[in-house]
Structure 1
Amino acid sequence: MTTATAADYGWIRSATSPFRYALESGYTLVLVRGVSPAQLLALAEAEGRGVCAGLDELSEQHEAFLCESDGWDACVLAGVCTVPGDEGEWTLALALGGDLGSSGFMETLSAGTRVVSHASNGGKPMEFFHWYENGELRTGFEWPRVRTGSTTDELNSLICQVGLGLTDEDISRADRKAAVFALTERLTGVRVTPELLTSAAYRTAEVFEEPVEEWTGIVIDITDAHGVRTYVEVRNDEL
C-alpha cells in the first residue's frame, strides 16, 4: 500500500495544473482494476469518438463537445486509458463536465473487482467519493463525517492518515480534493501525476448520463432534541 497524503496532490491547485480545467468544469474520475478501457466503454454503452493525446487535448474536445450541444446534452465526454496500479493494470476514466459514477453503472462495473471514484460538480461545494467492491458500495461520502455503504467505518484510519479527518474542524482545514486523490491512491496504488495526465492517450467517447427519476413528492422526517418526531409526506401536486 502507498503512503500518499494530501500533500502529494497539492499540485492540482497550481496555476499550471493540467487538472484545473476539470476542477472548474466538474468531473468524475473512475479507477477500475482488471477491466480494459474497451470493456468499460462497452459496459457504459458509450459511443466512441476516437483517440486524443493528453489531458489538454481532452479538455479541448470537451469545449468543442459543449459547443456542439449548446452547453447542454444528455451525454458527457469521457476519456479512458490504462494505468499501472496494485495487482496489475487499471483503467482510468475521466468524464468532464458530468457524472460517470451512477450507482447502477458502478455496481455493474465493480462486479468481481474494485472501483474507486471521486467527483466534483465544478466550482461548487459538492464533492463525492465512492469505493465499490464486488458490486457493492463499501464506503461513500460527500462530507467524510457522514458516510454510507456496507462498511462505513473501514476507511476511517486511512481518511485520517491522508489528511482529511473525521471531525468538522479537521475537514474544514483540509484540502478535501487533494486528500481524496490520496485516499484513492491508497485503495488502488495508482499515483495520478501531471505527467500521467498529460502523456496519456485517451480513448474518447460520449457516455449517456443516468436519467433523473421523476419525483412524486417529499418526506419530512425530523426528531428534535426531546425525542419528538415530526413526519409529513407531501405530494408534488400539493406544493
Structure 2
Amino acid sequence: MIATPDDYSWFSRERFPELADAYCFTYVRGLTPEELVTWLGVRVDDCSRMTLDELIRYSSTGFYERQAFGAIAVGDWVLLVEANGGLGVTKEIIMPLSAGTRLVSHFYLEVKGMDYFHWIEDGKIRFEFLHQDGYSHWIEDGKMQLEFPQMEGYSAEMPDELAETMERMGSADPHEGPSFLLAECLTGITRTPQLLEESTYLCGGVPKPR
C-alpha cells in the first residue's frame, strides 16, 4: 500500500499536544540507542528509561541547561525523539554522526514557523528542505527553488529516490505528513502512534553551552 500525507494525520496537537508543535525526529542506521547516547557524549549509566509522556516532562525541565532526548531501536535504525529540541538538525552533530551510514531528520517549531528536513549520507547532504520566517527552499523540476529573491544562490538536484514521494506530497505543508513520508521512503520505517506511545526510551540530556 502506498502511503499518503493523510496516513500521518494522527500526528496532531489533539493527540500529541506537547510534541506536535515542537519536535525533532532523527533516524540513524546501524546504531543502537546505547551507541548513539555514547556518541553524543552522554554516559549510558546517567540515562533513564522513560515513556513518551515522561520524556516530554523531562524535556520541559532544565530546558536552558540541556537538550533532552529519548532513543529507541527500530529495526536496524535508532530513532532519536526530541520534544522542543534540535540535536537532529545541528550540523556540527549530524554531519559527523552520518559518517559511514544514513541519517534522516526532520524538525518543526510552530511558534517560529521553522520546518527542516535533512537526508545525509556518509557526511554528504543528499537532500534538505528548509522553511523559516516566510521563505522556503523547495524542489521544482529537479532543482531547489527559492520562494523569495533574497535567498538566491542555493540550488540542488533532487535525488531520484525521492521523486515519486515528492509527487505524492502535493501542496501539503511538510510537517503535516510529507516529512513523515520522506522519512518512511528513506528508512523503510512507518511511523505509527503506537511506536511513539508504547515505546520505552533511553533518555538523557546533552549540556547546552553556557
Question: Same fold by TM (over 0.5)?
Answer: yes
The normalised TM-score by structure 1 is: 0.70
- Give the counterpart letter for 1:13 in structure 2: S
Identify which of 115, 138, 141 aligns with 1:145: 138
- Give the counterpart letter for 1:94 in structure 2: V
Equivalent position of 2:179 in the other structure: 180
Taking the aligned partners of 2:155 and 2:189, their CA distance within structure 1 comes to 24
Identify which of 32, 35, 40 aligns with 2:36: 40
Contact 1:138 1:150 in 2 (8 A): no
Q: Secondary structure at the match of 1:77?
A: strand
- Give the counterpart letter for 2:55 in structure 1: L
Equivalent position of 1:215 in the other structure: none
- Give the counterpart letter for 2:36 in structure 1: L
Contact 1:22 1:122 in 2 (8 A): no
Alpha-carbon shift at residue 14 of structure 1 (Å)? 5.8
Contact 2:13 2:19 in 1 (8 A): no
Taking the aligned partners of 1:123 and 1:198, their CA distance within structure 2 comes to 24
Deviates most, 177-186 or 96-105? 96-105
- Structure 1, residues 77-102: CA drift from partner, whole Å, max 9, x if none? 10000013xxxx11000122221121
Identify which of 48, 51, 64 aligns with 1:50: 48
* Runs (4+) off by over 3 Å: 146-152
Taking the aligned partners of 1:141 and 1:118, their CA distance within structure 2 comes to 9
Alpha-carbon RMSD? 2.5
Structure 2 unaligned residues grouped into runs of 5+:
131-135, 146-153
- Give the counterpart letter for 1:159 in structure 2: M
Equivalent position of 2:115 in the other structure: 127
Taking the aligned partners of 1:152 and 1:41, their CA distance within structure 2 comes to 33
Identify which of 64, 73, 82 aligns with 1:95: 82
The percent identity for this pair of structures is 30
Contact 2:13 2:20 in 1 (8 A): no
Q: Secondary structure at the match of 2:184?
A: helix
Alpha-carbon shift at residue 139 of structure 1 (Å)? 0.7
Taking the aligned partners of 1:152 and 1:11, their CA distance within structure 2 comes to 32
Taking the aligned partners of 1:27 and 1:37, their CA distance within structure 2 comes to 19
Contact 1:80 1:204 in 2 (8 A): yes
Equivalent position of 2:148 in the other structure: none
The normalised TM-score by structure 2 is: 0.79
- Structure 1, residues 3-46: CA drift from partner, whole Å, max 9, x if none? 3221110111262x23x31123x221101111111111111113
Paired residues, number: 187
1:79 and 2:78 aligned: no
Taking the aligned partners of 2:164 and 2:111, their CA distance within structure 1 comes to 28
Taking the aligned partners of 1:109 and 1:175, their CA distance within structure 2 comes to 28
Contact 2:119 2:127 in 1 (8 A): yes
Contact 2:23 2:81 in 1 (8 A): yes
- Structure 1, residues 168-221: CA drift from partner, whole Å, max 9, x if none? xx3xxx142111111111110111111111111100010245x69xxxxxxxxx
Taking the aligned partners of 1:140 and 1:206, their CA distance within structure 2 comes to 26
Contact 1:23 1:123 in 2 (8 A): no
- Give the counterpart letter for 2:174 in structure 1: R
Taking the aligned partners of 1:78 and 1:153, their CA distance within structure 2 comes to 31
Taking the aligned partners of 1:50 and 1:90, their CA distance within structure 2 comes to 20
Taking the aligned partners of 2:106 and 2:181, their CA distance within structure 1 comes to 11
- Structure 1, residues 208-235: CA drift from partner, whole Å, max 9, x if none? 45x69xxxxxxxxxxxxxxxxxxxxxxx
Taking a change above 3 Å as real, the CA distance of residues 207 and 4 of structure 1, as seen in their structure-2 partners, is: farther
